[in-house]
Amino acid sequence: MLRRTVVIVPIAIVILSAQLLAQTQRMTPTAPGSAGDPAWQATLRLSDGRTFVTDGGFAIDAAIAKPSKLPDRELPSKVLEDYFKAAQTEECRFGDLTADSGKSYRTPGGIALNAAYIDFLKRIVPSRSVRFRMTGAMRPVLVESDGKMVGVLMPLAP
């Protein structure tokens, strides 16, 4: 009996691990400079009742993005909400960004942002109300509109 248990338990662990890995699909963020809307792959439900959609490199309030359908996959929102609470040291607007090779924009501080995300934001959010808030290179960039955090995007590698 003990011998059978010693054999069955490791096999069960391997099978369960394989099933969990199969369910944990990695998200593929929108390629820099891609045309069109991001391919939303998951939702995040914030404690304030808002729902965000993400493609893995960019998250935005679903009420602003207006996807035709919310993704079925749901992710925990704690990390996103922690980003919103973090102190930011820099700020810029759309007009402060500089086009860089058609695939990215640069902030005045030199942080590279995916042009596909910036172009998408320009299409859906009134430009006069948008502020990008940052703490430094390779830290999430917050998107604020009308004084409210509405998105987070990850900068491109330098």
Q: Going residue by residue through the chain (158 aa), what tens digit of pLDDT does each one get?
A: 545 444 444 443 434 333 333 345 688 898 888 888 899 999 999 999 999 999 999 999 999 999 999 999 999 999 999 999 999 999 999 999 999 888 999 999 999 999 999 999 999 998 888 999 999 888 999 999 999 999 999 999 87
Residue 88: its pLDDT value, please?
A: 92
Q: Give residue 62's pLDDT.
A: 98
pLDDT for res 133: 97
Contacts of residue 47, Cβ cutoff 8 Å, sequence gap at least 6: 77, 81
What pLDDT does 3 receive?
53
Q: Rounded to the nearest 5 degrees, what angle is found at the Cα of 13, between the Cα atoms of 7 and 18?
A: 130
Type of residue at 6 = V
pLDDT at 1: 54
Sheet holding 130-134, edge to edge: 74-75, 42-45, 51-54, 58-61, 148-153, 141-145, 130-134, 90-92
